[in-house]
Amino acid sequence: MNITLAQLAEECGGRLEGSDGKDVTIDAVTNLRDATATQLSMYTDKRYATALKETNAAAILVNDALAKDFSGYKIIVDNPLLALTHVIRALTQKSELEPAGIAKTARISQTASLGENIEIGPHTVVGKHVRLGEGVKLGANVVIGDHVKLGAGTVIDANVTIYKRCELGQRCHISAGAVIGAEGFGFAETQNEAGAHWSP
């Protein structure tokens, strides 16, 4: 899933600023706050200036008007959102050419049960007593909580978090960035406690 900034700039028709960063490799795309030193992010609005200042992203996609707000590596394009679609496609096509298996940087509990033909991407974490069915594919930076069960053929894209004790059936497909099993929030009224809050 690794591709250099120079290659990504070419894929999306952008200009890489910081020539010494041409060989920096990217393995995923995520938001400014969550990005790591191997990931690309995007900056399109000054409302996210604080997140930009604090980001650990290897580089960002940005337009000319906002490029001066970031001193790190950046790919300057006319339309960052459109460029992002080209970057994601490039990363996906690249990953399809790589051999199946488990990335060296993945962290897997010794109590996890893995089916045959499993694929686990870089920096993915698999918790205690997790059960992965045959042919399950986990993208980069996925977090699978304790006691999670994933049915055969299920595909989890990059940057997905699945909280503990969730169960997904066979051949599910969870898109990038989704969160499964997080606490909900609502309210229930009783005669004694009108509007009492609850969280499952």
pTM of the predicted structure, to 2 decimals: 0.49
Q: Where do the H-state alpha helices sit in the chain?
A: 5-12, 49-54, 80-97
Contact of 158 with 139, CB cutoff 8 Å: yes
pLDDT in tens, 63-88: 999 999 999 999 999 999 999 988 88
pLDDT in tens, 102-150: 998 999 999 999 999 999 999 999 999 999 999 999 999 999 999 999 9
Please state, in angstroms and rounded to a whole number, the distance separating the CA atoms of residues 173 and 59: 28
